[in-house]
Chain A
Amino acid sequence: MPLLLGSTETLVSAKSSRVAIIGASALPVGKLTSTSAGIADGLEHDFLAEVTARALAEAGISAADVGAAIFTQNPPTTKQLGFATFMMAQLGISCTGLVTEVGQLGLTGGVAFDVAATQVSSGQADFALALGVVRQSSGDPNVALDFGIRAVGDVNFQAPFGIPPIGWYALDCVRYMEDNGVSRAEIAQVAVKSRANAALNPLAQFRNPISLAEVLEQRPIVEPLGLFEVPSRADGAICLVLAREETARELGQASVVVEGRGFFHEGHHQIADHPHDMTAFPSARSATESALAMAGLSLKQIDLFELYAPCTITEILVTEAIGMFPAGEGHRALSEGRTTLKGAQPVNTSGGCLSRGHPPQLTGLYGLYEIREQLLGKAGKRQVKQAQHGLHTCELGNYNATLAHVLGVCQ
């Protein structure tokens, strides 16, 4: 190791620690288990084993190469506990890096990816997996709802009032409508756009196009939001394979690299006890700015956006928060078509939480998967032309914390 590094060497050194996604596989979002004559076609570990084998095959590496496996935390409907260690036995993989489950609420998929990337960039593993499975649609819906209520509220002072995660976004929506003189219909256009994108995505949970009128006539779930303006219950299984950028090159794998990463927790849980603008999502702004700065890119250089947005209003608020549109004008950008597939700044080309589907612990991984598909030119009819850079966010609470990643094409 030379004592003094020249500027060129420093640049090479910094660049060589970048992390690439060299393989991936995911099951369509929807209901995982089907049962025939009382016999289920698989449990969590079966579905995850299958996608992991496919992801390794796509990456062109073997199970013996894997040095770390970072699993998303399981939802409360999962019967099998100790899931990460149980799963390693199913996969027949031994590791010298880290094997663990990570995550917190909606951040979970992004955190699994982030920890796996750190395993690679720190040299603790040459190849790391970020993976997980959610199978909750076969279980009692009240188990997941009760978990959600206790996760997004103080159990003595908020949760007893029965507010689920999407209830907080409804509160955002009501306030946003009042502050900006915006109608529910203007916000609900997000659901129409999401479905149009999902219609072109083989992994999507809901693929039949819907009209604005159909969105507005659905039964209310968390007012003013109706059935199509909130996510449905969903299952999924996904595995991403990570390696150093130069390893990807040596393997000759078409890859995308992590160009930037940012995180921010604002120090509130849902709302602060002193008044503030709950629709401003400052964590999204800060994390995105950090990720763009690390990537050396401006927001205008981002070709597509996969933004964690369980409800219609959430997508509008996060696009405003990260600076795509002025506060109070995100809905206008939508009606002008700026965030559609053919728009200047496509948002949630996968169909997002509303239509691609929202297995909460995996949504971050599915979002990163979509950006990879787009950057590799594998997105078929929903392909964003000449996509070079994509921005991903995931969050928890009412966007109290955001984890942002910028992915780029591995040249």
Chain B
Amino acid sequence: MTLPIVTLGLKRPLEIEVTVITQTFWSGLAEGRFLLARCSHCSRLSFPPRRICPDCHQLDFTWIEASGRATFYSLTRIHNSPPRYNLLSPVSVAIIDLEEGIRLLTRLLPTDQAPVVGGPCQLVITQHPDGMHYAARPAESS
């Protein structure tokens, strides 16, 4: 299942360094897929991808695809970010909980629907002139 891709006209505010650990994740975004690393030994899911599993310290991971269905844990609008971060103004961020059990911080995209703490949200992929990133937006209640 591929995720919606939203085009944002500005470059990502910080240059993304792709590594052997994270390249599968970044390549996945370009294909519309948001990948989570799963420890091959203890099955713990990690995001972002990392070198060792923090629970068992083993090195081997496989990948699973996130559905994109999530819940808002918290959110805020930031009015004092330096200009380079203002792809959209004001800068909005949210902490979201993916249904797979992963929590992450991301950009919150404006929609007609107001985001609500505890309410449903959709993980989306954002396309920038210099590559892909990701964001969240409110979703219809299921």
By a beta-carbon cutoff of 8 Å, the part of chain A in contact with chain B is: 142, 145-146, 149-150, 153-164, 167, 170-175, 178, 219-224, 267, 270-276, 278
Q: Residues of B contacting A278 with CB < 8 Å?
A: 73-74, 95
Cross-chain contact A160 with B133 (CB below 8 angstroms): yes
Report how far A222 CA is from B90 CA in the complex, Å.
10
Q: How far is the CA of A172 from the CA of B13 in the complex (A)?
A: 24
| Minimum Cβ distance to chain B for residue A150 (Å) | 8
Report the minimum CB–CB distance from B64 to chain A (whole Å). Answer: 14
Q: Inside 8 A of B118's CB, which chain A residues have their CB?
A: 178
Cβ B17 vs Cβ A156 within 8 A? yes
Would you give the shortest CB distance from B18 to chain A, in whole angstroms? 9
Which residues of the other chain, B, contact A150 by a CB distance below 8 angstroms? 14
For B, the interface residue count at a CB cutoff of 8 angstroms equals: 39
Contact (Cβ within 8 A) A167 B74: no
**B103 neighbours in A (Cβ, 8 Å):** 271-276
A360 to chain B, nearest CB (A): 15
Name the B residues within 8 Å of A274 (CB-CB). Answer: 45, 101-103
Which residue in A145, A154, A162 is a CB contact (below 8 Å) of B48? A154
Residue among A162, A175, A274 having the largest count of chain B Cβ atoms under 10 Å: A162
Which among B16, B47, B48, B82 has the greatest number of chain A C-beta atoms within 10 A?
A: B82
A219–B80 Cα distance when bound, in Å, is: 11
Known contacts A145-B80, A156-B17, A170-B76; 10 further A-B pairs (Cβ under 8 A): A146-B82, A149-B81, A149-B85, A162-B82, A171-B75, A221-B78, A273-B47, A273-B103, A274-B102, A274-B103
Given A171-B76, A272-B103, residue A159 in contact with residue B97 (CB < 8 A): no
Q: Which one of A160, A163, A174, A178 contacts B78 once the chains associate, using CB atoms below 8 Å?
A: A163
B83 touches A175 (CB 8 A): no
B93 at the interface (CB under 8 A from A): yes
List B contacts of A155 (CB < 8 A).
Answer: 14
Q: Which residues of A contact B75 (CB under 8 A)?
A: 171, 174
B137 at the interface (CB under 8 A from A): no
Query: A156 with B85: in contact, given A163-B105, A274-B103 (CB under 8 Å)?
Result: no
Q: Quick check: A273 and B104 within 8 Å, CB to CB?
A: yes
CB distance from A20 to the nearest CB of B (A): 41
B77 within 8 A of A: yes
In the complex, A154 Cα to B50 Cα: how many Å?
A: 12
Is A162 touching B79 in the complex (CB atoms < 8 A)? no
Asked if A222 meets B80 with Cβ closer than 8 Å, knowing A160-B16, A162-B93, A275-B97, the reply is yes
> In the complex the two chains form, is A219's CB within 8 Å of B47's CB?
no
Contact with A along B41-67 (1 / 0, CB 8 A): 000011110000010000000000000
Please indicate the chain B residues that have their CB under 8 angstroms from the CB of A170 in the complex.
76, 78
A273 vs B96: C-alpha distance when bound (angstroms): 10
Are B117 and A175 closer than 8 Å at their CB atoms? Answer: yes
Q: Report if B2 contacts A (CB, 8 A).
A: no
Q: Tell me the complex Cα distance, A158–B20, Å.
A: 19
Q: Given A273-B46, A274-B102, do A162 and B74 touch, yes or no (CB 8 Å)?
A: no
The answer to whether A273 touches B16, judged by C-beta atoms less than 8 angstroms apart, is: no
Chain A residues in 8 Å Cβ range of B101: 274-275
Q: B69: CB under 8 A from chain A? A: no
Can you list 27 residue pairs at the A/B interface with Cβ under 8 Å?
A: A142-B83, A145-B80, A145-B81, A149-B81, A154-B48, A155-B14, A156-B14, A160-B13, A160-B14, A161-B91, A162-B13, A162-B82, A163-B78, A163-B93, A170-B76, A171-B93, A173-B76, A174-B74, A175-B73, A175-B117, A222-B78, A222-B80, A223-B76, A223-B79, A271-B95, A271-B105, A274-B102
> Does B78 lie within 8 Å of A162, measured CB to CB?
yes
